Structure 1
Amino acid sequence: MLKIIEFFKEQWHHRHLIWKLSIYNIKSQYANHYLGAFWNILQPLLQVLIYFIVFGLGLRGDRGDVEGIPFLVYLISGLFPWLYIQQGINGASNAIQSQLSLVTKMKFPASVLLSTAILNGLFNLLLVTSIVMAISLWNGYSEPLHYLALLYFIFASSAVIFGISLIMSSLIIIIRDMKNILQNVIRMFFFMTPIFWSLSEANEILQTMASLNPFAYLLMNYRYAMVFEGGPLYGEMADHLYFWSLTVLLIYIGVQIHYRFKNKLVDYL
């Protein structure tokens, strides 16, 4: 427990550095592109278009609305938060390995690079969420006060990303195969998470798998905050306890692995 407290103290102590590194990464990412930072919105919109053509117009046909909202709205309210989770896990898990030159010279904890990667993804999430919010307000899908539950989604999803990336950022360096394993596991969870399919229409096996899937919990909370009636939070007390027990366990394991190998990672690199 003391190591967990120490880890988050490191993040707070270096919060200004994390902010500066995030701003620098965002500016440099598309510095040589004509459209620049507009790609932060254009890229997820292009993915929405592809999945809408494949699943909305192709596989679904004329099956109509999903959970009382148009399929396109259902799709973006699942895909946008998923992209934040996916990019956060991939970016933070590979942050230390990809910043090899910085790791060997830096005078701050390597864990700061994980926070920087997560913060970069958060900027993109807020941009695309503004689109979802505009659609929601225009059509009156959710009550404006429920939008505050977006803060819960950000906090909960960031906690899960931290836990997973703390584990994987060390294992990817020590065991090179873990990078490929991580990508395939994330791809598997993409189809196991109700991004373009509905929990209410799924069979019992998928519903059971979704109840054990922390990403399904997160996506549904995003939808309840932004587009669904009722809410503002998804799930019962048992769902919340399961999610946070799993999250705390992941963070605990991740912190133990990180501090065990943090002074040896350069040797593995």
Structure 2
Amino acid sequence: MINDIKEIFEKRKLVMTLAKSDFRKKFIGSYFGIIWMFIQPIVTVLIYYFVFQVAMKARPATDSPYVIWLIPGIVPWFYFNEALMAGTNSLYDYQHLVKKMVFNVSILPSVKILSSMFVHCIFIWIMLIVFLMSGQTPSLWWLQMLYYSGCTTFLLLGLVYFTASVNVVFKDMGQLVNIFLQFGFWLAPIMWDFSMLPSRLHKFFKLNPFYYIVQGFRDSFVFKVGFWEKPLLTIYFWIVSITIFCIGTIMFKRLKPHFADVL
């Protein structure tokens, strides 16, 4: 695991170059360019705002407005969703590089994640602007989002290593990931308040590692709670994430010799 992370770090200039190229490629031939990247998420937030707060009068377990409570939960999900879908298809998108024997294909999944991270950073800035415009006072707690963004990236890296490698030999993996993301969106407490559930179900939903990330963003921006105040949940998240990373890298290395032949 350490060697895999070290390898990505050593090739960081190449990863950054490919990620920038991938980011720009998404908007080639588009009149509005990068604007399209934000239209759908912004429309999504507005729809949920009108449905849950305006129409249904939903109120989270906090004095903050629903939108202020919603945005910190949905911003990491946009990053996770985009990076996992793009990373799953990374070997197909760069199959011309996979077929080159001298190229290290192990860095390709991280290219897609980094490309999605550029958009994630812009969304964070938008979130900060929304908070400031709503009268929220800037706080050092907001810096904690850097830690939780790192948690998201590490979790993604393990998942993408697994899904990208399996997708080469099992082309239905992309569809399975899409279904997984649809279920994951509603299983994670993004749109609904965790307090709505009976207490006996809390432990079950906390098994989802993304719960730690969503709640962490809200802890940083809404509840002002540090990750060190939840030691058991933090330890659990990292055990699960490291396990997923190990499984993903093992699968990637076992299937790696077959990538060029299949593609």
TM-score, length-scaled by structure 1: 0.90
Secondary structure of the 1:264 match is helix
TM superposition shift of 1:20: 0.8
CA distance, structure 2, for counterparts of residue 51 and residue 12 of structure 1: 39
| Runs of 4+, deviation exceeding 3 Å | 53-58, 63-66, 137-143
Secondary structure of the 1:262 match is helix
TM superposition shift of 1:210: 2.3
Equivalent residues in 2 for 1:31-180, closer than 5 Å: 31-58=28-55, 61-64=56-59, 66-105=61-100, 107-139=102-134, 141=136, 144-180=139-175
CA distance, structure 1, for counterparts of residue 32 and residue 237 of structure 2: 39
- Conserved in 2, the CA contact under 8 Å of 1:93 and 1:169? yes
- Which of 244, 249, 267 is residue 261 of structure 2 equivalent to? 267
Deviations 1:2-30 (A, max 9, x none): xx122112211211111111111222211
2:239 matches 1:245: yes
- Which of 16, 19, 42 is residue 19 of structure 1 equivalent to? 16
* Structure 1, 185-194 or 4-13: larger mean CA deviation: 4-13
| CA 55–190 in structure 1, closer or farther in 2 if over 3 Å, else same | same
Structure 2 gaps, min length 5: none
Secondary structure of the 2:202 match is helix
| CA 81–46 in structure 1, closer or farther in 2 if over 3 Å, else same | same
| CA 77–24 in structure 1, closer or farther in 2 if over 3 Å, else same | same
| CA 39–22 in structure 1, closer or farther in 2 if over 3 Å, else same | same
Residue 164 of structure 2 aligns with an amino acid whose one-letter code is: S
Number of equivalences: 263
CA distance, structure 2, for counterparts of residue 117 and residue 49 of structure 1: 27
| CA 239–65 in structure 1, closer or farther in 2 if over 3 Å, else same | closer
TM-score, length-scaled by structure 2: 0.92
CA distance, structure 2, for counterparts of residue 87 and residue 234 of structure 1: 29
- Conserved in 2, the CA contact under 8 Å of 1:84 and 1:122? yes
CA distance, structure 2, for counterparts of residue 140 and residue 106 of structure 1: 55
CA distance, structure 2, for counterparts of residue 91 and residue 41 of structure 1: 16
TM superposition shift of 1:65: 5.0
